[in-house]
Amino acid sequence: MATIRMSEAELAQNLPGALARVRQGDEVVIERDERALAVLRGVPERGRSLDDCIALADTLDTPATLDEGFMDDVEAGIAERSGPWNPPEWD
């Protein structure tokens, strides 16, 4: 992965090119007055789905057991973390 530096003006003139570099795995640092202003990078790939994890556990002969309340626990954990994010307030 390469890091490419561009000014705001360069980005405005060649946004498609910058996005193509991001799709290739590069990181684009947008600068103003030679100082970093923003960074464009690809979104990390998502991990395995729960179904994939369960199927993998079945094939690996793991001692993990999924009891009848397992899905309820998973859904409760997801619901607990699905609310709006409230970042800390700074003074």
Q: How far apart are the first and last CA of the chain?
A: 37
CA distance 23 to 34: 24
The residues, any chain, with a CB within 8 Å of residue 11's CB and separated by 6 or more, are 18, 28, 30
- Yes or no: is domain 3-40 CATH 2.60.40? no
**Kind and range of the H or E run holding 5:** strand 3-7
Query: Would you give per-residue pLDDT tens digits along the chain (91 residues)?
Result: 899 999 999 999 999 999 999 999 999 999 999 899 999 999 887 788 878 887 888 888 777 777 888 888 888 988 888 878 777 888 6
Domains of the chain by residue range = 3-40, 50-80
User: pTM of the prediction?
Assistant: 0.52
CA distance 42 to 25: 7
CA distance 30 to 22: 13
